[in-house]
Amino acid sequence: MTGDTADGWFQDVDPGDLDGAREAIEGGSAAGPADWPALAVGAGFAADEDEYYGLLHDATVSAAAEASRERERADDRQLVHSLRAMDDASRTANELAERVAEWAGSLGWPDDAADVADREPETPGERRLVSLAERVRALEEDAATLRGHVERTAPSVAPNLSALAGPVLAARLVSLAGGLEALAKKPSGTLQVLGAEDALFAHLQGGAPSPKHGVIYTHEYVRGTDPEQRGSAARALAGKLTIAARVDHYSGDRRPDLDRELEGRIERIRAREDA
């Protein structure tokens, strides 16, 4: 049901129609309060007040679940899932590659997983080793494919953030924040240290210096700046990335001026190195 609810919140909704009840909750409106249980009973939606509240509970839970599913289907959530899958595949491949190297070394074989995967095994143990090496290669291919997907998807989800940070770092920031909307609402100081939560916690506990940056350290504008000026570069980058995230979330239009402004700011910071 959508529109006015003068004859009852669940007007024209059949008893047991959970989808219809959910739509009534999501789209209904009323000019003022009313005795909704009595109206629902009078309209035949519920036998009595207790049944009304039971049906209301079920419809409310259904509405909340559907809203959650819609959020999960959102483009930024799909981007986050892709990034995390890429990280999982890469991490698992690295761990298994170490095992392959140790095992191959014990047999006097080359310890590179790619080389091991191409060997012809002669014993059951060697077959297991070669199979494991093939698994490493498959996971590495999966990670590369997922990275390509992230690099293609991020610019459509967050065009300005991807242009300034690069697609993978942009996706990582969205992931760490819990979504593009959450990232857009964070101050630049928080974005600056995303990914450095352990170091920040140690600082708050009084046992370590405050971190100057988190994952944005991987950006060339931070990593490639003289250590003495790296904090300034991180603040400048975080400031522009915060603006980019807000533009991406609230309007979605591409603003190349942000690129030029950031580039100019970093150039001025790096000029201090020679001063």
Q: What is the mean pLDDT of residues 145-167?
A: 96
Q: What is the pLDDT of residues 172-210, one digit of tens each?
A: 999 999 999 999 999 999 999 999 877 767 666 776 677
What pLDDT is attached to residue 35? 75
What pLDDT is attached to residue 60? 74
* Confidence (pTM): 0.71
Q: Taking 80 as the threshold, does the pLDDT of residue 33 lie above it?
A: no
What pLDDT is attached to residue 25? 59
Q: Taking 90 as the threshold, does the pLDDT of residue 166 lie above it?
A: yes
Quick one: which of 12, 6, 24 has its CA closest to 62? 24
**Using only C-alpha atoms, what is the Rg of the chain?**
27
- Quick one: DSSP state of residue 240? H
Helix (H) or strand (E) holding 178: none
Inter-CA distances, 150 with 21, 66, 221, 249, 251, Å: 38, 26, 21, 18, 21
How many CB atoms are closer than 10 A to CB 229?
17
More confident residue, 2 or 209: 209
What pLDDT is attached to residue 5? 43
